[in-house]
Amino acid sequence: MKELMKQINPLEIYKSPYGMRRICMMLASVLLMGFGVSVFSLSDLGVDPFTAMNMAVSAKLGIGFGFYQMLVNGVLLGFVLLCSKKLVNLGTVFNMVGVGYVCEFFTGLYARFIPAPVFLPVKLLLMASGVLLLSLAASLYFTASLGVSPYDAMGFVLHDKTHVQYKWCRVITDIVCTAAAFLFSGPVGIGTVVTAFCMGPIVSFFNTAVSEKLLYTHGFKFRLVVRFYDFSRVGGTFISPNGRFVA
């Protein structure tokens, strides 16, 4: 536990190379992610699988989305801590607590001041904006190297326990969430599919074009490498600071 507390200690992170930038990028990513999910939801063309499941179940239970998502993340976090503390850092905590509430805040504003979109071109524009915002947020989040969200961590835990390739573990978790969203009449649509197939390449683009340039000082040759999850001893993977999964 002492090792974990030191790992997520903001002061220790601040003292580390690019510490302040990493913290700022992580906080910005949480705000962007919540805002992006709210824009995605406004399009009425579906959201990512995990969000769709949480929106569906929270609506059925009559619980606020932000609070319910925090509860689900709390349960997942407990499981992840039992399996690998390396995945948990300050960004994990801010992600699990902040994204749902930020989304709920903006969704409430839309309900009060913005009419629901009717025309398909407007919906498609909102969906595309949501994908871009989520991709940029994910890029900032991974590049900051301050942990992964509890849901993202589940794929790595499954990979470690089953030795199935990470991408298939992620597919499994997404299918489970999508099925639950369907079961509870959640916001599953074309946007859910677009997210699954398009976010990866867009995140990679933002890594190079935006996030790495924000993090690294020009002319400074030191390149920070923080490995959250190192499976190299068993032929697995680790996450590098630019968000790429390296064999």
User: Side-chain half-sphere of 182: how many Cα atoms within 13 Å?
Assistant: 8
pLDDT (0 to 100) of residue 68: 93
Residue 187 and residue 106: Cα distance in Å, rounded?
17
- Condensed to tens digits (0 to 9), the pLDDT of residues 26-61 reads 999 999 999 999 999 999 998 888 999 999 999 999
pLDDT tens column, 56-73:
999 999 999 989 999 999
pLDDT band at 1 (very low <50, low <70, confident <90, very high): low
Q: What percent of the chain has pLDDT over 70?
A: 85
What is the rounded distance in angstroms from the CA atom of residue 99 to the CA atom of residue 27? Answer: 10
CB count, 10 Å around CB of 124?
Answer: 16
pLDDT score of 238 more than 60: no
Higher pLDDT, 152 or 95: 95
Assess whether pLDDT exceeds 90 at residue 172: no
For the chain, the average pLDDT equals: 82
What are the extents of the domains in the chain?
Answer: 2-8+19-246
Phi, psi of 245 (to 5 degrees): -95, 120
What is the pLDDT, as a whole number, of residue 247? 35
Q: Is the pLDDT of residue 117 over 70?
A: yes
- Which residue's structure tokens are 């997210």? 195
Looking at residue 3, what is its pLDDT? 67
CA distance 112 to 214: 35
**How confident is the model over 80-96, as pLDDT tens digits?**
888 888 888 888 989 98
Residue 21 has pLDDT above 60, yes or no: yes
pLDDT bin (cut points 50, 70, 90) of residue 223 is very low
3-state secondary structure (DSSP) of residue 238: strand
**Which pTM was predicted?**
0.77
Please state the rounded mean pLDDT for residues 169-192: 88
Q: For residue 246, what is the enclosing H or E element?
A: strand 245-246
